[in-house]
Amino acid sequence: MSRITDVARRAGVSTSTVSNVLNGRSERMAAETLARVEAAIRDLKYRPNTSARQLKTGHTPLLGVLVPSMANPMYGFIAREIEAMAQGRYGFRIMIGNTYRDAEKEKHFFEDLMAHGVRGVIIISSMVDEQHVEAAAERGLVAVSYDRRATPGVPSVIDHVTVDNFESLRIATSHLIEQGHRRLAFVTPSGRTMSRNEKIRGFLAAAKSAGLEGSARVVESLPVDEYGDSMMSELGRMQARLLAKSPDRPTGVIGVNDLLAFGLMAGFRDEGLSVPEDVSVMGIDNVFLSTLMYPAMTSVRVPVPEMAQVMVERVMSRLADASLPTQEFVFAPTLVARDSVVPPRA
């Protein structure tokens, strides 16, 4: 079994340098040095002595990851990237909990994590109210909130890492408009989150900029939170059936995420409509299943690997130095055009 001294010798650095990498204190380290240490850790398959680390630091080498529901493949993708970063660079494993965007469930998870010595958590819920997260952070939990920006003007003790959700919908809507679509719809569950609110704003702003505010509508389905994300596709399917029968049926439709958009495609086909000939459909997230749909679905990519790296680094850095100020990181989305969007029929 490799020891920390073996890693240091292999990388040509001191053991304290290796320790700094393992504990998230690498911000001021030269990139070439960091790369050598990480390569040595991988090559030697080094894993820190977890018992010794817990005695020394007072916390367990585990990272909590709370998601709305693993039924959504996007959350599985995020969890996988977080785990790869946490385990590969820092020797931390992850504990996953499904919270269904319920603040009470999240509070119970916080209590359980802290009772087991877990001091770092990444929360993927984007709820409008984060007071329960702030309260846990005040008690010593290092928290990063995913897919949500900090509340303007309100000091926060947690980090925020998000894609620009406003921009995601702006570029999605603009793509439909550029293809010639004039009757547009954005379909989202009725339960509001911070990210959904931003997406609605982006959709309406793009429509207004093109003079289409009168023919662009936000369509809110049943609240998915009552059913879990396993019902997201079915909600999209139900809503597509209703849209297909409306007298002013939209020719371009965007789902709040890929999972709901998959349901939209199925629902339009149920009503005898062709995607994309009769109606173009887009999603948000760009999960791998988008390429397996027929037709392959146009989506907006969320840079999950890059975001996961920042989230894990922030947790580890603040576990190592509690005095570090919190930060907000906003990532840019990108359009991935495929076959589910074409110009509308004349």
| pLDDT of res. 286 | 97
CA atoms within a 13 Å half-sphere pointing along the CA-CB vector of 56: 11
62 contacts 95 by C-beta, under 8 angstroms: yes
Q: What distance in Å separates the CA atoms of residue 237 and residue 61, rounded to the nearest whole number?
A: 42
262 in Cβ contact with 236 (< 8 Å): yes
Q: Which residue has the tokens 């909600």?
A: 235
Higher pLDDT, 282 or 42: 282
Confidence bin at 3 (pLDDT 50/70/90):
confident
Indicate if 148 and 27 belong to the same structural domain: yes
Q: Does residue 340 sit within a domain? A: no
Which among 315, 5, 344, 298 has a CA at the least distance from the CA of 158? 315
Average pLDDT, rounded, for the chain: 90
pLDDT band at 123 (very low <50, low <70, confident <90, very high): very high
Strand, helix or coil at 325?
coil
Q: Is the pLDDT of residue 316 over 90?
A: yes
Q: Is residue 245 part of a domain?
A: yes
Give CA–CA dist 188/211, Å, rounded: 22
Sign of CA dihedral 60, 61, 67, 73: negative
Higher-confidence residue of 88 and 262: namely 262
Q: Same structural domain for residues 126 and 203?
A: no
Q: Do residues 281 and 212 both lie within one domain?
A: yes
Does residue 133 share a domain with residue 18? yes
Q: Which two tokens stand for residue 205?
A: 């702003």
Q: Lay out the sheet containing 62-67: strands in order across.
A: 93-98, 62-67, 120-123, 142-146, 159-163, 328-331
The number of folded domains in the chain is 2
> What would the mean pLDDT of 185-197 be, rounded to a whole number?
88
Which pLDDT score is estimated for 308?
97
Q: What is the CATH number of the domain that holds 43?
A: 3.40.50.2300
191 has pLDDT over 80? no
Average pLDDT over residues 8-19: 86
Q: Which pLDDT belongs to residue 228?
A: 57
DSSP assignment letter at 124 = -
pLDDT band at residue 51 using 50, 70 and 90 as cut-offs: very low
**pLDDT score, position 227:** 47
Tokens of 19: 């320790």
DSSP state letter for 94? E
Assigned token pair, 141: 């939990």
> Is the distance from CB of 73 to CB of 130 less than 8 angstroms?
no
Is pLDDT at 48 greater than 80 in this prediction?
A: no
pLDDT of 330:
97
Structural domain includes residue 342: no
Q: Give 207's contacts (C-beta < 8 A, 6+ positions apart).
A: 173, 177, 184, 213, 215, 216
Q: Are residues 239 and 315 in the same domain?
A: no
Range 40-50 average pLDDT: 76
Note whether 77 and 171 are same-domain residues: no
Do residues 332 and 172 make contact, with C-beta atoms less than 8 angstroms apart? no
Residue 134 belongs to what H/E stretch?
A: helix 131-138
Q: Is the pTM of this model over 0.85?
A: no
Q: Are residues 139 and 169 in the same domain?
A: no
Q: Answer whether residue 279 is part of any domain.
A: yes
Any domain includes 198: yes
Q: Is the peptide bond before 276 cis (omega within 30 degrees of 0)?
A: yes
In a domain, 341, yes or no: no
pLDDT > 60? residue 113 = yes
> Is the domain of 248 the same as that of 292?
yes
Residue 117 backbone class (left: φ over 0; alpha: ψ -120 to 50; beta: rest)? left
Sign of CA dihedral 266, 204, 198, 176: positive
Dump pLDDT digits (tens) for 269-314. 999 999 999 999 999 999 999 999 999 999 999 999 999 999 999 9
What pLDDT does residue 59 have? 61
Model confidence over 55-78: pLDDT tens digits?
455 567 899 999 988 888 999 999
Residue 343 has a pLDDT of 97
262 and 155 inside one domain: no
Evaluate whether residue 157 is within a structural domain.
Answer: yes
Could you tell me if 14 and 100 lie in one domain?
A: yes
pLDDT score of 55? 43
| 346 located within any domain | no
Residue-range definition of the domain harbouring residue 224:
165-302
Q: Are residues 53 and 195 in the same domain?
A: no
Q: Return the higher-pLDDT residue of 119 and 20.
A: 119
Q: Following DSSP, what letter does each residue of 23-79 receive, concatenated?
A: TT--TTS-HHHHHHHHHHHHHHT----HHHHHHHHSS-SEEEEEES-TTSHHHHHHH
39 and 130 in a common domain: yes
Contact, 282 vs 309, CB < 8 A?
Answer: no
Q: Give the pLDDT band of residue 17 (cuts 50, 70, 90).
A: confident
Q: What is the pLDDT of residues 193-238, one digit of tens each?
A: 889 999 999 999 999 999 999 999 999 977 655 545 778 899 999 9
